[in-house]
A and B are shown apart, each in its own frame.
Chain A
Amino acid sequence: GENVEQHPSTLSVQEGDSAVIKCTYSDSASNYFPWYKQELGKGPQLIIDIRSNVGEKKDQRIAVTLNKTAKHFSLHITETQPEDSAVYFCAASPTDSWGKLQFGAGTQVVVTP
Protein backbone atom coordinates (compact mmCIF):
# COMPACT_ATOMS: atom_id res chain seq x y z
CA GLY A 1 0.00 0.00 0.00
CA GLU A 2 0.84 3.67 -0.06
CA ASN A 3 3.32 5.11 2.44
CA VAL A 4 3.75 8.87 2.83
CA GLU A 5 6.71 10.38 4.64
CA GLN A 6 6.72 14.03 5.67
CA HIS A 7 9.62 16.27 6.71
CA PRO A 8 10.41 18.14 8.82
CA SER A 9 8.30 17.27 11.85
CA THR A 10 8.72 20.79 13.23
CA LEU A 11 9.58 24.03 11.47
CA SER A 12 10.23 27.40 13.06
CA VAL A 13 10.36 30.43 10.78
CA GLN A 14 10.61 34.17 11.22
CA GLU A 15 7.60 36.16 10.13
CA GLY A 16 8.01 37.16 6.50
CA ASP A 17 10.30 34.26 5.62
CA SER A 18 9.33 31.25 3.52
CA ALA A 19 8.48 27.78 4.77
CA VAL A 20 8.86 24.53 2.82
CA ILE A 21 7.46 21.13 3.78
CA LYS A 22 8.36 18.03 1.78
CA CYS A 23 6.59 14.71 1.35
CA THR A 24 7.52 11.54 -0.46
CA TYR A 25 5.17 8.76 -1.48
CA SER A 26 5.77 5.15 -2.42
CA ASP A 27 2.89 4.18 -4.73
CA SER A 28 3.49 5.33 -8.30
CA ALA A 29 -0.26 4.88 -8.93
CA SER A 30 -1.09 7.80 -6.61
CA ASN A 31 -2.46 10.72 -8.55
CA TYR A 32 -4.02 13.14 -6.07
CA PHE A 33 -2.06 15.05 -3.43
CA PRO A 34 -3.92 17.35 -1.01
CA TRP A 35 -2.47 19.48 1.78
CA TYR A 36 -4.31 20.23 5.01
CA LYS A 37 -3.85 22.79 7.75
CA GLN A 38 -4.94 21.94 11.28
CA GLU A 39 -5.24 24.66 13.89
CA LEU A 40 -5.37 23.84 17.57
CA GLY A 41 -8.64 22.23 18.58
CA LYS A 42 -9.99 22.07 15.03
CA GLY A 43 -10.33 19.55 12.25
CA PRO A 44 -7.96 19.57 9.26
CA GLN A 45 -8.83 22.05 6.53
CA LEU A 46 -7.96 21.54 2.87
CA ILE A 47 -5.73 24.41 1.74
CA ILE A 48 -4.46 23.28 -1.65
CA ASP A 49 -4.28 20.15 -3.76
CA ILE A 50 -2.61 18.96 -6.94
CA ARG A 51 -3.20 16.16 -9.40
CA SER A 52 -0.49 14.16 -11.12
CA ASN A 53 -1.05 15.77 -14.50
CA VAL A 54 0.08 19.13 -13.09
CA GLY A 55 3.57 20.05 -11.89
CA GLU A 56 2.80 23.14 -9.86
CA LYS A 57 -0.19 24.96 -8.45
CA LYS A 58 -0.33 28.29 -6.67
CA ASP A 59 -2.93 30.04 -4.54
CA GLN A 60 -1.85 33.43 -3.21
CA ARG A 61 0.96 32.79 -0.70
CA ILE A 62 0.88 29.01 -0.90
CA ALA A 63 2.08 26.75 -3.69
CA VAL A 64 2.51 23.04 -4.20
CA THR A 65 4.98 21.34 -6.52
CA LEU A 66 4.96 17.74 -7.65
CA ASN A 67 7.79 15.64 -9.05
CA LYS A 68 6.24 12.39 -10.27
CA THR A 69 9.54 10.86 -11.29
CA ALA A 70 11.05 11.30 -7.86
CA LYS A 71 7.68 10.70 -6.15
CA HIS A 72 7.79 13.73 -3.97
CA PHE A 73 5.71 16.86 -3.53
CA SER A 74 6.23 20.01 -1.51
CA LEU A 75 4.25 22.81 0.09
CA HIS A 76 5.70 26.31 -0.10
CA ILE A 77 4.40 29.18 2.04
CA THR A 78 5.81 32.61 1.25
CA GLU A 79 5.75 35.76 3.39
CA THR A 80 4.72 33.76 6.44
CA GLN A 81 2.44 35.35 9.02
CA PRO A 82 1.66 34.37 12.63
CA GLU A 83 -1.71 32.96 11.51
CA ASP A 84 0.17 30.42 9.39
CA SER A 85 1.22 28.70 12.63
CA ALA A 86 -0.47 25.29 12.61
CA VAL A 87 0.12 21.61 11.87
CA TYR A 88 0.27 20.84 8.15
CA PHE A 89 -0.44 17.42 6.69
CA CYS A 90 0.26 16.09 3.22
CA ALA A 91 -1.67 13.14 1.80
CA ALA A 92 -1.72 10.90 -1.26
CA SER A 93 -4.54 9.03 -2.94
CA PRO A 94 -3.98 6.11 -5.31
CA THR A 95 -6.13 5.72 -8.42
CA ASP A 96 -6.66 2.01 -7.85
CA SER A 97 -8.03 2.48 -4.33
CA TRP A 98 -10.74 5.06 -4.81
CA GLY A 99 -11.64 6.56 -1.46
CA LYS A 100 -8.35 5.80 0.27
CA LEU A 101 -6.25 8.68 1.51
CA GLN A 102 -2.84 8.15 3.14
CA PHE A 103 -1.56 10.98 5.35
CA GLY A 104 1.92 12.03 6.35
CA ALA A 105 2.73 12.39 10.06
CA GLY A 106 2.41 16.18 10.01
CA THR A 107 4.63 19.25 10.38
CA GLN A 108 4.24 21.70 13.26
CA VAL A 109 4.93 25.16 11.83
CA VAL A 110 5.64 28.02 14.23
CA VAL A 111 5.91 31.54 12.83
CA THR A 112 7.60 33.91 15.24
CA PRO A 113 7.00 37.67 14.98
Chain B
Amino acid sequence: EAQVTQNPRYLITVTGKKLTVTCSQNMNHEYMSWYRQDPGLGLRQIYYSMNVEVTDKGDVPEGYKVSRKEKRNFPLILESPSPNQTSLYFCASSLSGQGGAFFGQGTRLTVV
Protein backbone atom coordinates (compact mmCIF):
# COMPACT_ATOMS: atom_id res chain seq x y z
CA GLU B 1 0.00 0.00 0.00
CA ALA B 2 1.33 3.42 -0.98
CA GLN B 3 1.81 5.50 2.10
CA VAL B 4 3.69 8.17 3.98
CA THR B 5 4.46 7.17 7.56
CA GLN B 6 5.21 9.64 10.31
CA ASN B 7 6.35 8.88 13.83
CA PRO B 8 5.46 9.61 16.50
CA ARG B 9 1.78 10.52 16.07
CA TYR B 10 1.69 12.40 19.36
CA LEU B 11 4.54 13.99 21.31
CA ILE B 12 4.71 16.15 24.40
CA THR B 13 8.13 17.57 25.19
CA VAL B 14 9.78 20.32 27.19
CA THR B 15 11.35 23.51 25.91
CA GLY B 16 14.89 23.01 24.66
CA LYS B 17 14.90 19.23 24.45
CA LYS B 18 15.98 18.17 20.96
CA LEU B 19 13.56 15.97 19.06
CA THR B 20 13.19 14.32 15.68
CA VAL B 21 10.00 13.47 13.83
CA THR B 22 10.55 10.76 11.25
CA CYS B 23 8.92 10.51 7.84
CA SER B 24 9.18 7.64 5.40
CA GLN B 25 7.52 7.00 2.02
CA ASN B 26 7.37 3.76 0.04
CA MET B 27 6.52 5.20 -3.39
CA ASN B 28 10.04 6.08 -4.56
CA HIS B 29 9.01 9.73 -4.77
CA GLU B 30 11.71 12.31 -5.36
CA TYR B 31 9.92 15.20 -3.70
CA MET B 32 9.18 15.40 0.02
CA SER B 33 8.02 18.23 2.19
CA TRP B 34 7.13 19.21 5.75
CA TYR B 35 4.19 21.41 6.74
CA ARG B 36 2.79 22.72 9.96
CA GLN B 37 -0.92 23.26 10.41
CA ASP B 38 -2.27 25.87 12.81
CA PRO B 39 -5.90 26.97 13.27
CA GLY B 40 -6.89 29.69 10.82
CA LEU B 41 -3.55 29.56 9.00
CA GLY B 42 -3.95 26.49 6.83
CA LEU B 43 -0.81 24.53 6.04
CA ARG B 44 2.51 26.34 5.89
CA GLN B 45 5.53 24.79 4.28
CA ILE B 46 8.59 24.40 6.51
CA TYR B 47 11.14 22.69 4.25
CA TYR B 48 11.07 20.69 1.07
CA SER B 49 13.44 18.39 -0.73
CA MET B 50 13.68 17.76 -4.45
CA ASN B 51 15.93 14.70 -4.10
CA VAL B 52 18.62 13.14 -1.94
CA GLU B 53 20.89 15.81 -0.43
CA VAL B 54 18.81 18.60 -2.02
CA THR B 55 16.68 20.64 0.38
CA ASP B 56 15.30 24.18 0.47
CA LYS B 57 13.44 26.43 2.84
CA GLY B 58 9.71 26.87 2.72
CA ASP B 59 7.81 29.75 4.28
CA VAL B 60 8.47 29.03 7.98
CA PRO B 61 11.88 27.31 8.32
CA GLU B 62 13.09 29.08 11.48
CA GLY B 63 13.78 26.66 14.34
CA TYR B 64 13.71 23.55 12.14
CA LYS B 65 16.27 21.40 10.35
CA VAL B 66 15.87 18.63 7.83
CA SER B 67 18.08 16.09 6.12
CA ARG B 68 17.62 13.86 3.09
CA LYS B 69 20.25 11.16 3.14
CA GLU B 70 18.01 8.51 1.61
CA LYS B 71 15.25 8.91 -0.93
CA ARG B 72 12.57 7.35 1.29
CA ASN B 73 13.29 9.27 4.52
CA PHE B 74 12.96 12.94 5.38
CA PRO B 75 13.23 13.59 9.14
CA LEU B 76 12.29 16.91 10.75
CA ILE B 77 14.59 18.03 13.54
CA LEU B 78 13.84 20.56 16.24
CA GLU B 79 17.18 21.34 17.89
CA SER B 80 15.72 23.46 20.69
CA PRO B 81 11.92 23.34 20.64
CA SER B 82 9.93 26.28 21.92
CA PRO B 83 6.22 26.60 22.81
CA ASN B 84 5.48 28.44 19.55
CA GLN B 85 6.38 25.23 17.72
CA THR B 86 3.38 23.51 19.27
CA SER B 87 1.46 22.47 16.18
CA LEU B 88 0.22 19.67 13.95
CA TYR B 89 2.94 18.57 11.53
CA PHE B 90 2.51 16.81 8.22
CA CYS B 91 5.00 15.18 5.93
CA ALA B 92 4.14 14.79 2.24
CA SER B 93 5.70 13.20 -0.82
CA SER B 94 5.04 13.38 -4.55
CA LEU B 95 6.53 12.23 -7.82
CA SER B 96 7.33 15.80 -8.74
CA GLY B 97 7.11 19.05 -6.83
CA GLN B 98 4.02 20.04 -8.72
CA GLY B 99 2.39 16.67 -8.75
CA GLY B 100 -0.30 15.57 -6.33
CA ALA B 101 1.01 14.99 -2.87
CA PHE B 102 0.50 12.10 -0.50
CA PHE B 103 0.30 13.22 3.10
CA GLY B 104 1.13 11.35 6.26
CA GLN B 105 -1.29 11.05 9.18
CA GLY B 106 0.26 13.91 11.08
CA THR B 107 2.25 14.42 14.29
CA ARG B 108 0.71 16.47 17.04
CA LEU B 109 3.53 18.15 18.93
CA THR B 110 3.13 19.99 22.22
CA VAL B 111 6.07 21.91 23.67
CA VAL B 112 5.65 22.97 27.30
Residues of A within 8 A of B (CB): 1, 6, 31-32, 34, 36, 41-46, 49, 89, 93, 98-106
Contacts and interface: CB of A to CB of B under 8 A. Distances in A.
Given A44-B103, A98-B50, A102-B59, A89 B43 contact: yes
A99 B42 contact: no
Residue in A99, A104, A106 whose Cβ sees the most chain B Cβ within 10 Å: A99
Interface string B63-93: 0000000000000000000000000001010
Given A46-B101, A102-B45, A103-B35, 19 more contacts: A1-B59, A32-B98, A34-B101, A41-B106, A43-B4, A43-B103, A44-B101, A46-B100, A89-B42, A89-B43, A93-B97, A99-B31, A99-B33, A99-B49, A99-B50, A100-B45, A100-B58, A101-B33, A106-B42
Nearest to B100: A46
A36 B42 CA distance: 11
30 contacts: A1-B59, A6-B42, A32-B98, A34-B100, A34-B101, A36-B103, A41-B106, A42-B105, A42-B106, A43-B90, A43-B103, A43-B104, A44-B90, A44-B101, A45-B103, A46-B101, A46-B102, A49-B100, A89-B42, A89-B43, A93-B97, A99-B33, A99-B49, A99-B56, A100-B58, A101-B33, A101-B45, A103-B43, A103-B44, A106-B42
B37 to A, nearest CB: 9
B41 interface: yes
Contacts of B4: 43
Which bucket holds chain B's interface residue count? 20 to 34
Interface in B19-65: 31, 33, 35, 40-45, 48-50, 56, 58-59
Contacts of B105: 42-43
B62 to A, nearest CB: 16
User: Which 5 pairs across A and B sit closest by C-beta, in order of nearness?
Assistant: A43-B103, A99-B97, A46-B100, A103-B42, A105-B42
